């Protein structure tokens, strides 16, 4: 339940392996070059957070508020989940995502049309 909202320096380049982030707030944070592996972020808030050149591996973002989150040139390795997450305004610009994970993301009704195009979601 930590609050890292609008943190522009402390999270850059950090390794957040096996982190328990349930109900934490990262709104507007800069998570450039972060490595998140096997993290549990269910119910966390990432509104407007920027993941740039990050590696996100097997992170549970289920039921998280991901409105406006940006995954820019980020590697989303298999196993990250977004079930029930609010992805309104989310961007996956030049993100590297496995085919199975793309299929799961495309099932999220809140995923914006532009991101559906970027991810090549099938209608």
CA atoms within 13 A on the CB side of 39: 25
pLDDT in tens, 37-90: 999 999 999 999 999 999 999 999 999 999 999 999 999 977 899 999 999 999
Predicted pLDDT of residue 71: 97
Question: Given pLDDT bands bounded at 50, 70 and 90, which one contains residue 1?
Answer: low
Is residue 108 one of the residues assigned to a domain?
yes
Three-class SS state of 17: strand
Confidence check: pLDDT of 120 > 80 = yes
Q: Which residues pair with 3 in a beta bridge?
A: 25
Residue 118 lies in a domain: no
pTM recorded for the entire structure = 0.91
Distance CA 98, CA 91 (A): 16
The average confidence (pLDDT) of the chain is 94
Own/partner contacts of 118-122, CB < 8 Å, gap of 24 or more, are 118/91, 118/92, 118/93, 119/92
Examine residue 70 and state whether it is found in any structural domain, yes or no: yes
Mean pLDDT, to the nearest integer, of 92-118? 93
At residue 123, does pLDDT exceed 90?
no
Q: Residue 67 sits in a domain of what CATH number? A: 2.160.20.80
* Residue 117: inside a domain: no
Tell me what pLDDT residue 18 has.
Answer: 94
**CA terminus-to-terminus distance, the chain:** 37
Please report whether residue 119 resides in a domain: no
Q: How many structural domains does the chain have?
A: 1
pLDDT for 100 beyond 80 = yes
What percent of the chain has a predicted confidence (pLDDT) above 70?
99
């Amino acid at each position: 339940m930590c609050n890292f909202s609008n943190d522009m320096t402390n999270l850059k380049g950090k390794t957040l392996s096996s982190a328990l982030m349930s109900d934490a707030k990262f709104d507007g944070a800069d998570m450039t070059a972060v490595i998140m592996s096997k993290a549990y972020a269910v119910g966390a808030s990432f509104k407007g957070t920027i993941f740039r050149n990050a590696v996100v591996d097997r992170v549970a973002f289920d039921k998280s508020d991901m409105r406006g989150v940006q995954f820019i040139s980020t590697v989303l390795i298999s196993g990250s989940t977004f079930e029930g997450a609010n992805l309104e305004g989310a961007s996956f610009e030049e993100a590297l995502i496995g085919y199975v994970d793309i299929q799961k993301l495309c099932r999220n009704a809140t995923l914006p049309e532009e991101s559906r195009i970027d991810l090549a979601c099938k209608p």
